[in-house]
Amino acid sequence: MIDLAVPPGLVLVLGAFLLPLVKDRVRDGLILGLPLLSLLLVWLIADGSHASVNFLDYRLAPVDSTVAGRLFATVFSLMAFAGGLYGLRQARTTELVAAFVYAGSAIGVTFAGDLITLFMFWEIMALGSTVVIWCGGTETAYRASFRYLLIHLLGGVVLMVGIIGHIAQTGEITFTAMRPDNLADALILAGFLVNAGAPPLSAWIADAYPEASPSGAVFLSAFTTKTAVYALLVGFAGTEILVWIGLYMVFYGILYALLENDMRRILAYSIVNQVGFMVTAIGIGTAMALNGAAAHAFAHIIYKALLLMSAGSVLMMTGKRKCTDLGGLFQSMPVTAFHGIVGALAISAFPFTSGFVSKSLETQAAADGGLVIVWFLLMAASAGVFLHAGIKFPWFVFFQKDSGLRPPDPPANLRWAMGLFSFLCIAIGLIPQALYALLPYPVDYQPYTVSHLVSQFQLLLFAGFAFFAMLSLMRRTLTISLDLDWFYRRFFKEIVAEFTLKTSEARKELEANSIRKLRLFVANLYEHHGPQGVLARTSPTGIVVLWVAVLLGVNLLLYYIE
């Protein structure tokens, strides 16, 4: 390892702007090479702070390598590589530039040793991800990107105010463990939770991510929510309120995913669900729980991207995204179906996949801590995950009734990207120690015990039986599920429109009254000073002299009276 003073994420951020300047093989080489170079730098930098920059009266630490940061930076680099491979021949150049800026900024967050550097990369992430959504190229994508930006600007303002307050109180800018027992740190926590998709602003994920292009949705699934998980893990481990916030997210995501008909919205709600597991583990705060949150984030980025690659391939080849319009695609898209099933098994924590060896750390941490209710809810949620993502997504998209569609599998680079992540899902499941070695704390845990395998198979079999027993209820129709985003998409819009209408009417009435009074004043003025007015008439000289004499006499009289 070396003492490097350049943040590895800058390789992606700056290199992204070379993409519009080159073509063909050079462009392809940059798309695939920049993430690999970033990954190399992540592992060449030794632990500790390696650079400092003077900013106002503070010294920033933009290259501060930690074990947790390296883990997240590693999977972010892998995600940028696989996302670039997936979008190699079908993504717009603008989208790839924005996606690499987005990915590089996420890596920058993981190496930020101070709150100011973290905030700068945090805001660049928001801008990059907004452009990725906008590159979906539709009016719906544009509107979703605008709403997305507003939410994240709000979160950024909250975070900035919290950071300013924290610095004012402590005089420190170091990004380290905090407690939300004062307003400033509570605002920092709230800013992180906005990016995590926590309530009440959870709906932005399902609102925005599905409107991106197939490759854009893959990039979006990886960075924003997982950098928030990283920030929570470093800054607020052991904060009890996170346990209950996380559990809310877990069941919120399951409920809405089960109600959803759009395959990509199913997977978007599933992101909220999965991040909820991580937030709960961070709230538990033990070494086992924090290892579980980090391992789950690593595994989740891979299998969620794989699921969205599969869904994106279906969308690209069929032009359809509603479950009611799909089915029977395994006949003509067997490769895509296979990779989708691998991702579905991994997200369901099926034994011998990455989800099994990562999620089990979290449930074990709840059991070790004597948190019976939390453990029970996490186990129940695991069954719910199998229902909506493990079975519902592949069943309604690739199997169920035959839709009559016969599209082929997508182009080779998309299949290679899916193949890479399918391999990682299985490899991590078979060799969990490779992942455990990267975690922040030493791991003394064996996932493959007889009792654990039996209980997990029982859970999955029960969930599978429940799905097919209630299959008629699981079939979706062309309905819309209202979420809290309805308030700022519809209700608040109507309130603003009504307020605008009322104020416009009041303004018009005020203008009319003002004009009426002005005209009356002018008329009175004209009556007295106009050509025929009293004050405009001429008088004989003698009368004027008489009045002057009278006025002077009155003045002298008053003078002597005084």
CA geometry: angle 542, 546, 552, nearest 5 deg? 145
Give the per-residue pLDDT at 383. Answer: 86
Q: What is the pLDDT of residue 395?
A: 87
Token pair belonging to 13: 């951020």
pLDDT at 543: 67
Alpha carbon distance 106, 9 (integer Å):
7
The sign of the torsion formed by the CA atoms of 89, 264, 103, 75 equals: negative
Asked whether the beta carbons of 305 and 79 are under 8 A apart, the reply is: yes
Return d(Cα 350, Cα 390) in angstroms, integer. 9
Q: Are strands 53-55 and 64-65 parallel, antiparallel or unpaired?
A: unpaired
Rounded CA separation 243/279 (Å) = 7
Question: What pLDDT is stored for residue 421 in this prediction?
Answer: 96
CA–CA distance from 47 to each of 42, 70, 235, 489 (Å)?
10, 9, 18, 45
Q: Where are the alpha helices (DSSP H) in 326-482?
A: 334-347, 354-368, 372-385, 393-398, 412-430, 432-436, 450-469, 471-474
Q: Residue 261: what pLDDT?
A: 87
Longest Cα separation, the chain: 128
Q: Show me where the domains of the chain are located.
A: 1-213, 237-475, 490-561
Give the dihedral of Cα atoms 232, 238, 240, 246; nearest 10 deg.
40
Give the tokens for residue 447.
Answer: 């996932």
DSSP string computed for 319-362: S--BGGG---GGGT-HHHHHHHHHHHHHHTT-TTSHHHHHHHHH
HSE-up of 156 (CA within 13 Å, CB side)?
Answer: 18
Task: For 508-532, give the secondary structure using H, E and C.
Answer: HHHHHHHHHHHHHHHHHHHHHHCCC
pTM, two decimal places: 0.86
SS3 state at 180? coil
Residue 51 has φ and ψ, to the nearest 5°, of: -155, 155
pLDDT in tens, the chain (562 residues): 656 667 899 999 999 999 999 988 999 999 999 999 999 999 999 888 887 888 878 889 899 999 999 999 999 999 999 999 999 888 899 999 999 999 999 999 999 999 999 999 999 999 999 999 999 989 999 999 999 999 999 999 999 999 999 999 998 999 999 999 999 999 999 999 999 999 888 889 999 999 999 999 999 999 999 999 999 999 999 999 999 999 999 999 998 888 888 899 999 999 999 999 999 999 999 999 999 999 999 999 999 999 999 999 999 999 898 888 888 899 999 999 999 999 999 999 999 999 999 999 999 999 999 999 999 999 989 888 887 778 888 888 898 888 888 999 999 999 999 999 999 999 999 999 999 999 999 998 899 999 889 988 888 888 888 777 776 666 655 666 777 777 766 666 677 666 666 777 777 888 888 888 888 877 776 666 666 665 566 666 666 677 778 878 887 777 777 6
CA dihedral 209, 211, 215, 218 (to 10 degrees): 20
- Supply the pLDDT for residue 513: 82
Q: Could you tell me which of 154, 34, 159, 153 has the C-alpha nearest to residue 101?
A: 34
Q: Which two tokens stand for residue 101?
A: 């800026």
According to DSSP, the residues that pair with 55 across neighbouring strands are 58
Q: What is the C-alpha to C-alpha distance for residues 204 and 96, in angstroms, rounded to an integer? A: 22
Cα(156)–Cα(108) distance, rounded to whole angstroms? 16
CB 189, CB 180: distance < 8 Å: yes
102 sits in the region (left: phi over 0; alpha: psi -120 to 50; else beta) called alpha
Please report which helix (H) or strand (E) contains residue 549, including its range: helix 541-561
End-to-end Cα separation, the chain, in angstroms: 105
pLDDT attached to residue 104: 96
Helix %, strand %, coil % for the chain, to 5? 75, 5, 25
